[in-house]
Amino acid sequence: MSNIVRIILASLLLIGTVVLFWFGHWGFGILGILLSILAWVTVFFNENMLLAQWFLRKENMPKAEQWLRKITNYEKQLISAQHGYYHMLLGILESQRAPLQSEKFFKKALALGLHMDHNVALAKLSLAGVAMAKRNKREAEKLLSEAKKADKNKLLADQIKMMKDQMSMMDKQQFRYSR
């Protein structure tokens, strides 16, 4: 559904709610307020994206993918602030199947813009994992340091430390093989 249609429907619902209060139907007016809030939320946050994120948190990847695939033309269905998050969700889903293929989604997400620092950190951490899988140590270290800088609330500190430990293990293995 187009955002213009959503705005019109949300506005009509809000006007109907005001009319309900005007005529003294308080119970239906309160219900109208709740529905108006829900309608206005879907103007700014696409319901398919919200449901996909919910299923990702529940670790139900097939359902999350099903809801994301319902977004056929993200440029028209989502506001521009959500374009990066759409690609990040696709990257997370793709990293479960083919980690090396998820790189393009995370790069596009960063290029389109992510507004929360922990999401930027997650995208860079995922890209560091891809670089590590490709045996590109220099790129992985650079992305890990950028992820550490972006993770201001230390939400991904354990994952960053674990990846650094894995990189040091790779160095030790390469040292053994080079002798």
The CATH class of 46-178 is: mainly alpha
For residues 157 and 176, give the distance between their C-alpha atoms in angstroms, rounded to a whole number. 29
pLDDT of residue 23: 94
For residues 35 and 50, the answer to whether their CB atoms sit within 8 Å is no
pLDDT of residue 143: 93
Q: Residues 123-168: pLDDT tens digits?
A: 999 999 999 888 888 999 999 999 999 999 888 889 999 998 888 8
For residues 94 and 87, the answer to whether their CB atoms sit within 8 Å is no
Per-position b or e across 151-179, b if 16+ CB within 10 A of its CB: beeeebeebbeebbeebeeeeeeeeeeee
Q: Would you give the DSSP letter of residue 1?
A: -
Low-confidence residues of the chain: pLDDT under 50:
none
| Amino acid identity, position 32 | G
> In terms of DSSP H, where are the helices of 45-156?
47-57, 61-69, 74-77, 83-97, 103-112, 117-133, 137-150
pLDDT of residue 175: 54
Residue 109: C-alpha distances to residues 25, 27, 49, 126, 168 (Å): 47, 44, 14, 12, 28
